[in-house]
């Protein structure tokens, strides 16, 4: 009897040491809400980047411009108009709409931000997932796994990995995993220009970018026509999160439950034919 009790005590001790957050997520292969799902904000479709937690809530990230109300050329977050905080956001795979709780554009305007680079590239929004749907969430990036912490993308030639989910691909998710490289970084480090094997297209906006080590690094903000046609501008996630925290929005990246694997072919094989 004593041996059995000791065995039970050991099991309880191990359970107590296990991270509570890791035990809460849906399995990666059955979760319906995860990085890469589509979000729709009053009809504007984007791709979610990563999962975040803060203040007792779970959030999914998208680009701030996904809730913009101006023209596609309105990219200065310090002047562009946006839908208000509290706007419902449809999250693919969720039973109820999420709620827009943070938008860097709105925050910059309310705080009087004047730095040109920050205004141009701080492009992050957080959507609170309804508590009824949190049990359907897994924070892993489809195909690649991770993320593993937060880090910058790196210098010219550094590899990048991303997962886009634009409806323009007609649901063919074999085209969603992408690999590429850094081309250049802005002087203040707020944005990185990257090339991927197939560039991000409208509807991929907001999708997350990973480093060679699987760290969450950026958010797809722009699709360039000139001077580097076919390139994408990726906002620095670390700077965007720091800005959010400095202005009262608690949000920490949730690491994936699946190990990171930067093998593009393997990621394509893992992706279903249609999504």
d(CA 119, CA 128): 24
Structure tokens at 254: 């949730």
Domain membership of residue 124 as a residue range: 38-136
Q: Is residue 265 one of the residues assigned to a domain?
A: no
Rounded to two decimals, the pTM is 0.88
Q: How many helices and strands (H and E) does the chain possess?
A: 6, 14
- In the chain, the number of structural domains is 1
Q: Is residue 22 one of the residues assigned to a domain?
A: no
Q: Is residue 66 one of the residues assigned to a domain?
A: yes
CB 159 within 8 A of CB 212: yes
Classify residue 106 as exposed, middle or buried by CB count within 10 Å of its CB (0-12, 13-18, 19+): buried
Measured CA distances, 177 to 21, 32, 45, 119, 143 (Å)? 26, 18, 18, 29, 7
State the DSSP H helix or E strand holding residue 4, giving kind and residue range, or none if neither.
helix 2-17
Look at residue 74 in the predicted model and tell me its pLDDT.
84
Q: Is residue 262 one of the residues assigned to a domain?
A: no
Number of neighbouring beta carbons within 10 Å of residue 170: 8
d(CA 138, CA 44): 24
Look at residue 17 in the predicted model and tell me its pLDDT.
34
CB 99 within 8 A of CB 164: no
Q: Is residue 157 one of the residues assigned to a domain?
A: no
CB 48 within 8 A of CB 206: yes
Helices 237-246 and 104-111: crossing angle, nearest 10°?
A: 50
Q: Is residue 226 one of the residues assigned to a domain?
A: no
d(CA 22, CA 19): 5
CB 240 within 8 A of CB 123: yes
State the DSSP H helix or E strand holding residue 128, giving kind and residue range, or none if neither.
strand 125-128
Side-chain-side CA neighbours of residue 6 (13 Å): 3
Q: Is residue 147 one of the residues assigned to a domain?
A: no
Structure tokens at 242: 């720091």
State whether residue 171 is helix, strand or coil. coil
CB 108 within 8 A of CB 114: no
- The per-residue pLDDT string of the chain (275 residues; one tens digit each, 9 = 90 and over) reads 333 333 333 333 333 333 334 458 999 999 999 999 999 999 899 999 999 999 999 999 999 999 999 887 788 999 999 999 999 999 999 999 999 999 999 999 999 999 999 999 999 999 999 999 999 999 999 999 999 999 999 999 999 999 987 655 555 566 788 999 999 999 999 999 999 876 666 678 899 999 999 999 999 997 654 445 568 899 999 999 999 999 999 999 999 999 999 999 898 887 665 45
Q: Is residue 58 one of the residues assigned to a domain?
A: yes
């Amino acid at each position: 009897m004593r041996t059995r009790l000791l065995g039970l005590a050991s099991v309880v001790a191990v359970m107590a040491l296990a991270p509570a957050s890791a035990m809460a997520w849906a399995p990666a292969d059955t979760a319906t809400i995860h990085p890469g799902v589509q979000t729709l904000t009053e009809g504007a479709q984007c791709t979610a980047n990563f999962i975040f937690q803060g203040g007792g809530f779970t959030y999914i990230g998208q680009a701030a411009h996904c809730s913009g109300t101006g023209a596609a050329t309105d990219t200065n977050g310090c002047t562009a108009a946006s839908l208000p905080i509290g706007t419902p956001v449809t999250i693919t795979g969720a039973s109820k709409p999420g709620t827009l709780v943070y938008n860097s554009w709105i925050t910059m305007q309310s705080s009087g931000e004047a730095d040109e680079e920050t205004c141009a590239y701080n492009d992050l929004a957080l959507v609170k997932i309804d508590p009824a749907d949190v049990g359907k969430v897994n924070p892993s990036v489809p195909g690649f796994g991770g993320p593993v912490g937060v880090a910058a993308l790196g210098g010219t030639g550094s590899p990048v990995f991303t997962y886009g989910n634009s409806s323009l691909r007609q649901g063919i998710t074999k085209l969603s995993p992408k690999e590429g490289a850094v081309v250049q970084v802005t002087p203040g480090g707020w944005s990185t220009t990257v090339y991927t094997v197939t560039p991000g297209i409208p509807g991929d906006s907001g999708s997350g970018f990973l480093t060679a080590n699987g760290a969450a690094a950026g958010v797809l903000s722009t699709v360039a026509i000139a001077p580097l046609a076919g390139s994408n501008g990726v906002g620095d996630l670390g700077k965007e999160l720091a800005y959010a925290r400095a202005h009262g929005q608690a949000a920490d990246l949730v690491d994936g439950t699946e190990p990171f694997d930067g093998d593009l072919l393997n990621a394509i094989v893992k992706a279903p034919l249609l999504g």
